[in-house]
Structure 1
Amino acid sequence: MERYKVLLVDDEVEVIDIMEQKIHWNDLGFKVVGSATNGVKALELVEKLQPDVVLTDIKMPYMNGLQLARRLNEDYPNIYIMICTGFDEFEYAKEAVHLEIKEYMLKPINSTELSASLEDLKETLDREREEKLNVKKLNNYFQEALPKLQSNFLISLIEGRVGEEDYDRFLQAYQLDMKGPHFCCVIFHTSANHVPDGMDPLLLSMSVEREIKDRLVEEWECKEFIYMGNTLLILELDSKEKMAQVTDACDRFCRWAYRIMGAVVTAGIGTVCDSLRDISISYEGARDAISYRVLYGTKRAINIGEIVPKEQKQTAQPEEISMQELLRAIRIGDPEEIKEMAHKEIEKIYKNTETISQHNLATLEIVSRFVRFCTNNSLDFNEISGYSQNIYEKVSQMDESLLTNWTVNMSMAISDCLMNARNNTSKRLIVDAQNIVKDRYMEADISLDEVCAQLGVSNSYFSSIFKKEVGKSFISYLTDYRMDIAEDLVLNTDEKSYTIAEKVGYLDANYFSYVFKKKFGVSPSKYRASAKK
């Protein structure tokens, strides 16, 4: 084992020589690494040699032993100090006790006594070294386990299982320095039903996770972990406006994963929250977004904030787990699944309730959860239910058949209203985009990116709903609108082609003529000439 280092300090060189010769340092587990004849020189050697023990005299020039001890206690508190002095004065001994000197011995030095003191000191040093090694091992083990501990904490956080009193403590203990100020949860779901031939689904999912780490995690401030077979990211955002960029980046990754790896990946993006404590709300939104793949398709990113009504409140709370499947079916809008999930909910009530009170409470809970769901999605429950003033009482008095029918019908009605609200939001977005084209078609620099930024949506979502509603891409719509204006100018004015080109947003007259000919079959000049015949 490595020997402990000793520095000898005494203004008498002969005393240092005697200690070096008479003490069997090596046998005791020590080695003398240097010596000094005053405290100032000793401090220089301490910084250079980093000894474990300093054995010093008191009376020395420039800086005495007690002054040296005070400096060592301040700057090097782990060094053990032993004093050997020819001055048996009470004040010296008193100060030595105050400075927690390990040994205070009088000269002439007795080699047997000093050796015994060194033996005791070695036992102390050995114990401390062992404790330090144990602490180091524990710290190393903790650092190795830290990513797993962080993942477990984040899983508890998205599930809403971290209490207010434990939040800060765990955040500090697991070294999670996530300042935000905004946070968002993203789920990457890799389909196990669409796997390239010869590829194991689990292996494909692991490959997708690795690519997410390489392509996205390095680019963003986020934490990545695996949960329920999906890859999850918790993002830190300095601005809510960056969500469109996040959505487009996720969309590009999903398309890349399918093109290069053959993996059908869907990214579900939750709402933005202002505190990591509320990340469970964003996670629930990301889960909902994933479920919308049956409507919007796979191999793409789906941002829940873009497909729910724009007025939905960000502070809305997720519904209870017991009705989660029914509410999810309502969001998707599949009538058969809605009926199936509604029947299951009512069956559970009649299976698990034994008293009238339990039955009444369960039926009231169904109504309450419908009300909460409508509120969360900016729908008017009273309007949907027919403005019944005693709805709670009426539902609690229904038998199983009536309650089942009411639950199915209410679920269908809420789903229809939700779909209409979603469609209205999409239509408003399309109208807004068309108005932008109407106001700015003459600007050469108008682009899909700029329009999406102005509307506050991602390219991927806007492009999909625009083509679905209008029947053509946004760029095609913009081009057709410009060409319609250009046609009118060609037919009803005598302006040159390059002037018309500038008026409809084309700086290059040749390119304008190319686009015009592609649309109408002939150049602008020939089109004008043929119209005058």
Structure 2
Amino acid sequence: MNTYGVLLVDDEEEVIQVIMRKINWEGLGFSVIGYANNGMKALEMVEEFQPDVVMTDIKMPYMDGMELSNRIKTEFPATKILIFTGFDEFEYAKEAVHLEVEEYILKPVNSIELTNVLTQLKIKLDQEISEKRNVETLQKCYLESLPLLQANFYSTLVEGRIQEMEIPKYLADYQISFPGPFFCCLVIHTSSSQVPKDMNPLLLSTSVYNQATERLGEKWQAKCFSYLGNTILIAQLKSENQVSELTDECDRFCRYAHRIIGAVVTVGIGQVCGDILELSRSYSGARKAVSYRVIYGASRAINIKEIAPQEMSRSDTASDTELSNLFKTIRLNPAEDIVQAVRKYLDQISFPSKSLQQHHIDIMELVSALYRFTANNDIATEDFSGDMRKLYSSLLDLGPDALQKWLIDISLSFREKLISARSRSTKTFVSRAMEYVRSNYSDEALSLDNICEVLGVSNSYFSTIFKKETGSSFIGYLTDYRMDRASRLLIETNEKSYIIARNVGYTDPNYFSYVFKRRFGVSPSKYRTEHTESEK
């Protein structure tokens, strides 16, 4: 039996305790994941835990239940909302039909009425999940996927096998519209090794395709098709800057797919382009981004621009497949895999019938490819800082074993330098964010969206890196910094609390006092009294 998470929201804790005691939550198929005493705290918990149901009062401090419901419906549309309210608020609540609230329950809460409401809501939630998991529905969706001609056109387009002069005819014949003006390719990879019990991997991929079309397709005017075992979306953007918003939405989709249908999904996001003929480059970037899940983890969106900006604009792919595989292994795999990749590459180019001239050409191509790799990835190494002709000549004198040892050593050194560069990049990235907080903490508009816009990255990527480096969320760090500044101002100045609140970025002095007390355990006025008296 499916169990659904419930978040209770009311500024009267005794009301919440009564509700928790009166209802047989487990017997009804629900579990209370927590409770909040104001709308702002509730919104934080919704974002963190993504409950299936939110039960909220209307009148609360800092953010009332109607505003909370509106925010939840906008940002988490799958979440069901129950509103319990006093008699004098009932008609006001009923008027808010546009919020699509499941039910309005009059206080004091009647356990029989609430049990009936939850019973019906459980049936509705079960039906929704059943529709998503129903095998017959999935088979039908698979058979009725996008028309073959359109899918063939899209796949040919991302492969870069369509000439510019052919585009107008294809678009007209297949009734395809590409208004743009910017485009971005998404590769949605569904793990075939992590599949829910009794679910066919092919049908699971079809379910992901169906959900991606529904949740991402319409907003981004995306062209959706299956290709090489993945779901591919060609998203259309109004501006290049929209790619950060797209990344965040894809990240939410990955978590949604895992929670609802049990699929482990990674979304790779390629670079933005201004011409559909450039989509092959965007598709290549998106595929590369998906491969980075071994570093950044699955069940998330990975934007190639955020993780490998140097690799985007230039190609480091050699003509030889094994050499290309070696470079990929250097970026992503452990040292032992690099040794194997070197040996495999050298085996590929070292065959008995090869002429001396061909050997010289192979070494020349190797040196050129390695040089491009160092340039594209900003790798400084002594081997490639001098005369390339001398390096080329010295490699020609090496025997097979010596050449293998040299290539293994240089490949391993590249790996170490890339790891070091990634570490420096993320630390610099976090340092810039912390410096921005120190300079702008008094700005009431400072938020996660704001800092990501300044840094030019998506919320999901920034949040992951910031928490990994600091052990705290960005909002938690910002709040702590503001509270530390406020505590100093309370001790070192005679300014009133509401002025100090404004100076550290809070327009609502009541909310400032609430956050301050949550941090220090006492109100601002009592904090000042305790610390100024202790200094006398």
Common fold by TM > 0.5? yes
Q: Is the 8 A contact 2:433 2:451 kept in 1?
A: yes
The residue that corresponds to 2:499 in the other structure is: 499
The residue that corresponds to 1:511 in the other structure is: 511
Per the alignment, in what secondary structure is the counterpart of residue 225 of structure 1?
A: strand
The percent of aligned pairs where both chains have the same amino acid is 46
Deviation at 1:445, TM superposition (A): 2.2
Per the alignment, in what secondary structure is the counterpart of residue 273 of structure 1?
A: coil
Change beyond 3 A, Cα 1:150–1:372: farther
The residue that corresponds to 1:432 in the other structure is: 432
Unaligned runs of 5+ in 2: 1-143
Whole-Å Cα distance in 2 between the matches of residues 199 and 477 of structure 1? 42
Cα displacement string for residues 293-331 of structure 1 (whole angstroms, at most 9, x for unaligned residues): 11111110000100124x556354655461332221122
Q: Which amino acid aligns with 1:523?
A: S
The residue that corresponds to 1:385 in the other structure is: 384
Deviation at 1:419, TM superposition (A): 2.8
Whole-Å Cα distance in 1 between the matches of residues 208 and 461 of structure 2? 22
Whole-Å Cα distance in 2 between the matches of residues 177 and 346 of structure 1? 47
Q: Is the 8 A contact 2:185 2:270 kept in 1?
A: yes
Q: Is the 8 A contact 1:313 1:377 kept in 2?
A: no
Unaligned runs of 5+ in 1: 1-143
Cα displacement string for residues 6-45 of structure 1 (whole angstroms, at most 9, x for unaligned residues): xxxxxxxxxxxxxxxxxxxxxxxxxxxxxxxxxxxxxxxx
Whole-Å Cα distance in 1 between the matches of residues 454 and 353 of structure 2? 53
Per the alignment, in what secondary structure is the counterpart of residue 351 of structure 1?
A: coil
The residue that corresponds to 1:299 in the other structure is: 299
The residue that corresponds to 2:290 in the other structure is: 290
The residue that corresponds to 2:100 in the other structure is: none
Q: TM-score if structure 1 supplies the norm length?
A: 0.68
The residue that corresponds to 1:363 in the other structure is: 363
The residue that corresponds to 1:374 in the other structure is: 374
Change beyond 3 A, Cα 1:237–1:502: same
Cα displacement string for residues 380-432 of structure 1 (whole angstroms, at most 9, x for unaligned residues): 5x656353532222223322212222222222222233333333332232122
Q: TM-score if structure 2 supplies the norm length?
A: 0.67
Structure with greater Cα Rg: 1
Whole-Å Cα distance in 1 between the matches of residues 274 and 481 of structure 2? 41
Cα displacement string for residues 195-226 of structure 1 (whole angstroms, at most 9, x for unaligned residues): 11111111111100011111111211221111
Whole-Å Cα distance in 1 between the matches of residues 180 and 529 of structure 2? 63
Deviation at 1:251, TM superposition (A): 0.4
Whole-Å Cα distance in 2 between the matches of residues 480 and 363 of structure 1? 57
Per the alignment, in what secondary structure is the counterpart of residue 351 of structure 2?
A: helix
Whole-Å Cα distance in 2 between the matches of residues 318 and 168 of structure 1? 31
Whole-Å Cα distance in 2 between the matches of residues 282 and 258 of structure 1? 26
Change beyond 3 A, Cα 1:466–1:174: same
The residue that corresponds to 1:201 in the other structure is: 201
Whole-Å Cα distance in 2 between the matches of residues 372 and 181 of structure 1? 32
Whole-Å Cα distance in 2 between the matches of residues 385 and 305 of structure 1? 26
The residue that corresponds to 2:423 in the other structure is: 423
The residue that corresponds to 2:225 in the other structure is: 225
Change beyond 3 A, Cα 1:421–1:276: farther
The residue that corresponds to 2:270 in the other structure is: 270
1:341-360 to 2 correspondences below 5 Å:
341-351=341-351, 354-360=354-360
Per the alignment, in what secondary structure is the counterpart of residue 160 of structure 1?
A: coil
Q: How many residues align?
A: 388
Change beyond 3 A, Cα 1:158–1:320: farther
Whole-Å Cα distance in 2 between the matches of residues 164 and 286 of structure 1? 22
Q: Which amino acid aligns with 1:181?
A: P
Whole-Å Cα distance in 1 between the matches of residues 488 and 411 of structure 2? 51
Cα displacement string for residues 119-147 of structure 1 (whole angstroms, at most 9, x for unaligned residues): xxxxxxxxxxxxxxxxxxxxxxxxx9993
Deviation at 1:239, TM superposition (A): 1.2
The residue that corresponds to 2:241 in the other structure is: 241
Q: Is the 8 A contact 1:281 1:318 kept in 2?
A: no
Cα displacement string for residues 156-187 of structure 1 (whole angstroms, at most 9, x for unaligned residues): 33233345665665555545442433222110
